[in-house]
Structure 1
Amino acid sequence: MKIKTVVIVEDHKLLSQAIEGLVNSFDGFKVLYLCSNGQKLLEKLKFQKNIPDLILMDINMPILNGIETTKILTKEFPEIKVIALTVESDDKLILEMLKAGAKSYLLKDAEKEVLETALNHTESFGYYHTPKISNLLINSLNDQEKYESPHLKEREIEFLRHACSELTYKEIAEKMYLSPKTVDGYRDTLFQKLNVKNRIGLVLYAIKHKIFNINIK
Structure 2
Amino acid sequence: MKTPFSIIIADDHAMFLDGLTSILAEEKSINIILTAKTGTQVLKYIRINTDQKVDLVITDINMPEMDGVELNAVIKEEFPHIKTLVVSMLEDAKKIKTLTEANANGYISKNAEKTELLKAITSILGGQNYFSPHIKQILMEAMFSAKSEPEISLSKRETEVLKLIAQEFTTQEIADQLFLSKHTIESYRKNLISKLGVRNLAGLTRYAVEKGMLK
The answer, yes or no, to whether TM exceeds 0.5 is yes
Contact 1:26 1:116 in 2 (8 A): no
1:79 and 1:62, CA in 2 relative to 1: closer, same or farther beyond 3 A?
same
Question: After alignment, is 127-136 or 48-57 more displaced?
Answer: 127-136
Find the aligned partners of 1:26 and 1:143 in 2 and give their Cα distance.
41
Shift, 1:140, TM fit: 5.9
Q: Distance in 2 between matches of 1:134 and 1:125?
A: 19
Which amino acid counterpart does residue 30 of structure 2 have in structure 1? Answer: F
1:92 aligns with 2:94: yes
Candidates 68, 71, 79, aligned match of 2:70: 68
* CA distance in 2: counterparts of 1:144 and 1:125, whole angstroms: 31
Q: Which residue of 1 aligns with 2:38?
A: 37
Query: Would the alpha carbon gap of residues 46 and 6 (structure 1) be closer, same or farther in structure 2, given more than 3 Å must change?
Result: same
TM-score by length of 2: 0.62
TM-score by length of 1: 0.61
Number of the residue aligned with 2:8: 7
TM-aligned CA deviation for residue 50 of structure 1: 2.5
1:128 aligns with 2:130: yes
Cα distance change on mapping 1:14 and 1:138 into 2, 3 Å: closer
Aligned-pair RMSD on alpha carbons? 2.0
Partner of residue 102 from structure 1, selected from 97, 104, 111: 104
**Cα distance in 1 between the residues matched to 2:145 and 2:53:** 37
Cα distance between partner residues in 2 of 1:144 and 1:50: 43
5+ residue gaps, structure 2:
148-215
The residue type paired with residue 38 of structure 1 is G
Identity of aligned residues (%): 24
Structure showing greater radius of gyration is 2
- What is the alpha-carbon distance in structure 1 between the residues aligned to residue 108 and residue 47 of structure 2? 27
Q: 1:81·1:126 contact (CA, 8 Å) conserved in 2?
A: no
- Kept in 1: contact 2:39–2:66 (CA 8 A): yes
| Aligned residue-pair number | 145
Q: Distance in 1 between matches of 2:62 and 2:29?
A: 28
The amino acid across from 2:95 in the alignment is L
- CA deviations on 1:116-150 (whole Å, 9 max, x unpaired) are 000000111331122222344456667889xxxxx
CA gap of 1:27–1:141, structure 2 versus 1, over 3 A, is farther
Find the aligned partners of 1:42 and 1:52 in 2 and give their Cα distance. Answer: 11
Aligned in 2, Cα 1:51/1:11: closer, same or farther, shift over 3 Å? Answer: farther
**Cα displacement (A) at 1:94:** 1.5
